[in-house]
Amino acid sequence: MLRRIDASVINDENEKLKSHLDADYAALADKLARDNIDIETITAKAGEFQVAVPSWGTGTGGTRFARFPGTGEPRNIWEKLEDCAVINEMSGCTDSVSPHFPWDVVSDFSELKEKADAYGLKWVSVNSNTFQDQKGQEYSYKYGSLSNTKKESRDLAIQHNLDVIEYGKQLGAKSLTVWVGDGSNHPGQSHFQRAFERYLASMEEVYKGLPDDWEMHIEHKMFEPAFYSTIIQDWGSNLLAAMHLGPKCKSLVDLGHHAPNTNIEMIVSRLIQFKKLGGFHFNDSKYGDDDLDSGSLHPYQQFLIFNELVDAEYRGQEGFGPAYMLDQSHNVTDPAESLINSAIEVQRSYVKALLVNREALYGYQEDNDALMASLELKNVFNLDISPILAMARYRKGAPINPLGVYRAAGYREGMAKQRPQDPNATGSGIV
């Protein structure tokens, strides 16, 4: 398999840390054994866990005010793919990439697929973009795309989504994620019901273009760029649309797209119950859609979400199998470093949720023993399960200390020489 960072760099660094890891792992194995948990079963599951990297997350992000590009950042999808390969080599848990179109359009998709295959990367959910006009676009999305009052703009947005499905088919993807910025900025600007009807009618056309084995995932977002109302404002509108459109349509939960303090884990549970949970965009936030690194502010919330997911897995819930993806914007960090770190933090939440004694928890719930129920979760959350994650990586040839190896390899410095900044580039991150 093609590599971006030489395996010898990883092996040399791993050699230095292996004896410490063995000791920490053995101590944790003993501790878990006291609760009748076999660490090897958990480590094997940790090794299977994967979360996809968003192609757009490999570039430096920005805000409405400015973007401060980093050196050596990718300038196109080929270079984004290279960085995704590095992120996977370091994290050992990101073997797929979620592309965004038209940002990632190429003339030869089979070549792009071959390149990804060579790195051992798969393509997952393809994203459409009707939240900005492209150069020379005939009909604008200024007043919305799939819900625009003008048929010409709606038709353009429908056709774009159908094109994205075609790109995805060539890459081997199996789902389309649709997020639109449609909405209004003034009370009265938009007729809520008519706008939603137009959106649904447009989405029906997109739905018709889905291959039989594909899903369509709708992403809700409370605000931005529309600040008064958005067409798919919350999980309620999302679920209504998904139910209206049919069984191949499900809801996608982006953690940053809710009001502060929203009980996201409960939303997740509801969507699971009605077989409508399509996937996730993991990130963290303090105020709104901040797109901060996953688990950097609210690791307990992320764990509670995984508690619902693992619970569904444990119960063998029908129709369960959400797609896990990151969706972050990195304004001040090296994007690859943030994505490596976030992927591992998401994996950490998953592994901790595996340690919950489900039968004990159900018992506390039946007995209305609120404190013991909450401690069943909290005690697991308080455990440091890092040795399991490090061992899972080590066993697949990934680093015990991913960021240490990434820096020791001098990857970004090397890219700074190979990828001089293009003054005319529109920017590879979210702006």
Residues that bind Mn ion (CB under 5 A): 254, 281, 327
The answer to whether 187 touches 228, Cβ cutoff 8 Å, is: yes
User: Site map for ligand PSV, 230-259, x if CB under 6 A?
Assistant: ------------------------x-----
Examine residue 284 and tell whether it contacts ligand PSV (CB under 6 A).
Answer: no
What angle do helix axes 370-381 and 299-315 make, rounded to 10 degrees? 110
Q: Where in 117-156 is the site for ligand PSV (CB under 6 A)?
A: 127
Examine residue 221 and tell whether it contacts ligand PSV (CB under 6 A).
Answer: yes
Helix (H) or strand (E) holding 146, with range, is none
Cα angle 161, 164, 165 (rounded to 5 degrees) comes to 90
- Size of site (CB under 6 A) for ligand PSV: 10
Tell me the C-alpha distance between 36 and 112, whole Å: 47
* φ/ψ of residue 249, rounded to 5: -105, 130
Nearer to Mn ion, 14 or 329 (CB): 329
Tell me the C-alpha distance between 410 and 70, whole Å: 15
The answer to whether 120 touches 88, Cβ cutoff 8 Å, is: yes
Tell me the C-alpha distance between 218 and 250, whole Å: 6
Name the DSSP class of 179: -
The answer to whether 101 touches 128, Cβ cutoff 8 Å, is: yes
Return the one option of Mn ion, ligand PSV, none that residue 289 interacts with (CB less than 5 to 8 A, by type).
ligand PSV
Examine residue 179 and tell whether it contacts ligand PSV (CB under 6 A).
Answer: yes
Q: Where in 42-101 is the site for ligand PSV (CB under 6 A)?
A: 56
The contacts of residue 303 (CB under 8 Å, 6+ apart) are 349, 352, 353, 377, 381
Nearer to Mn ion, 232 or 355 (CB): 232
Return the one option of ligand PSV, Mn ion, none that residue 127 interacts with (CB less than 5 to 8 A, by type).
ligand PSV
The SS3 call for residue 385 is coil
**CB of residue 226 vs ligand PSV: minimum separation in angstroms?**
12
**CB of residue 90 vs ligand PSV: minimum separation in angstroms?**
23
CA distances from 297 to 301, 302, 345, 374 (A): 9, 10, 11, 20
Return the one option of ligand PSV, Mn ion, none that residue 430 interacts with (CB less than 5 to 8 A, by type).
ligand PSV
Cα 7 vs. chain centroid, distance in angstroms?
Answer: 27
**CB of residue 346 vs ligand PSV: minimum separation in angstroms?**
16
**CB of residue 275 vs ligand PSV: minimum separation in angstroms?**
22
Nearer to ligand PSV, 126 or 361 (CB): 126
Single residue of 174, 281, 330, 412 touching ligand PSV by CB under 6 A: 281
Examine residue 330 and tell whether it contacts ligand PSV (CB under 6 A).
Answer: no
**Positions in the binding site for ligand PSV (CB under 6 A):** 56, 127, 179, 219, 221, 254, 281, 289, 327, 430
